Structure formats: structure tokens, C-alpha cells
Amino acid sequence: MSENLIASTASKARRLTDEEIHEIEHEMELYPDKRAVGLEALKIVQKHQGWVSDESMLAISKFLEIPVSDLESVATFFNLVYRQPVGENVILFCNSVSCWVMGCESMRSHINEELGIDFGQTSEDGKFTFLPVPCLGDCDKAPVMMVGDDLHRNLTQEKINDIILSYKERK
């Protein structure tokens, strides 16, 4: 990589907000080195920005003094670090074995019909992104999904309709 290119990518870093810096610094107290905080920093930025853009990656890399390639190898490894914009509400839909036995495929089709999106897609109004997630550890209440931080259990079509409606009405 030429020096110019390095300089031009580094200059694309955005400024971390004071809040982000404060939270990342708090995490730094809990680990013996800065590198260990990489994932925490990605999650903090994602919490505030909704996702992790290239500009955010560069900013974290500069702040923690770890190569952006190392940070990227962590970011791309984890299912819940979003390197693309997502909707206001992320639906994490369990499609593992117990939920499958309990009929999650038909729930998936129902969400698909209601919102017009399948796994990996975001609804046109930007309200929902629909993603599969491995077993959510609530298999006795299958089928199960999370919307944002909230868990929804024993899903039925009616329940899904109510859940969608309640998030649509939320501001």
C-alpha cells in the first residue's frame, strides 16, 4: 500500500463521539491491553451509530492503535457486528433445530409476507432488518425470536402480527 493511500484512508476516519470514547475507555480498564477491547469498541459504536461503517472502523483502529485489518478480522467474524446499515429494529430469528421442529419455517414465511423481506434484507420503510440467529437458548418456548433487545417466545402468526405492529407504532 502506498503511503498516499494509507494517509487517505486514515483521513477518512470519523470522529468518535465523547460518549463513545467514554464507554470505550471504561472497557479499557477491564482488560490488560487495548487490543482486547476491539470487539467491545465495535459494539459500542454500533450501539450509537446503528452499524459499523468503514469510517467508524478506521476511527476505532486509530483510537485503540490496532491495525484496521486486525479489527476487520474480528468484525467480520461475529454474527452480531453489522458492517452494513440495518433497519431501526433488527429481528434475530432463531432457525436452529428445536425451533425448526416446532415450525419456525412457517413463521419465517409469515414475516416474509408481512414485511416483504427475507433473511438479510431490510424493509423499505427502514423499520426492520430480518436476520437468522443460532439457537437463542429458549428452546422449550420455541419458536423464538428477538427484536432489538427483547425476546419473544412461543411465536404464532397472531403474535407476530402484534409484535410487528407494536414496533411500527414505537417512535
Choose one: 6-14, 34-42, 54-62, 107-115; the region binding other proteins (CB under 8 A): 34-42
Q: Residue 158 touches which of ligand FES, other proteins, none (CB < 5 to 8 A by kind)? A: none
What CA–CA distance (Å, rounded) separates 22 from 16?
Answer: 10
Q: Does 109 bind other proteins (CB under 8 A)?
A: no
Candidates 53, 61, 89, 95: give the one binding other proteins (CB under 8 A).
95
Candidates 14, 43, 127, 168: give the one binding other proteins (CB under 8 A).
43
Query: Is the backbone of residue 125 left (phi > 0), alpha (psi -120 to 50) or beta?
Result: alpha
Give contact residues for ligand FES (rule: CB under 6 A): 94, 96-99, 135-139, 142, 144
Query: Is the backbone of residue 9 left (phi > 0), alpha (psi -120 to 50) or beta?
Result: alpha
135 contacts 98 by C-beta, under 8 angstroms = yes
Give Cβ neighbours of residue 62 (< 8 Å, ≥ 6 apart): 10, 13
Interaction site with other proteins (CB under 8 A):
30-33, 35-40, 42-43, 66, 70, 73-74, 77-81, 92, 95-98, 100-102, 133-142, 146, 149, 151
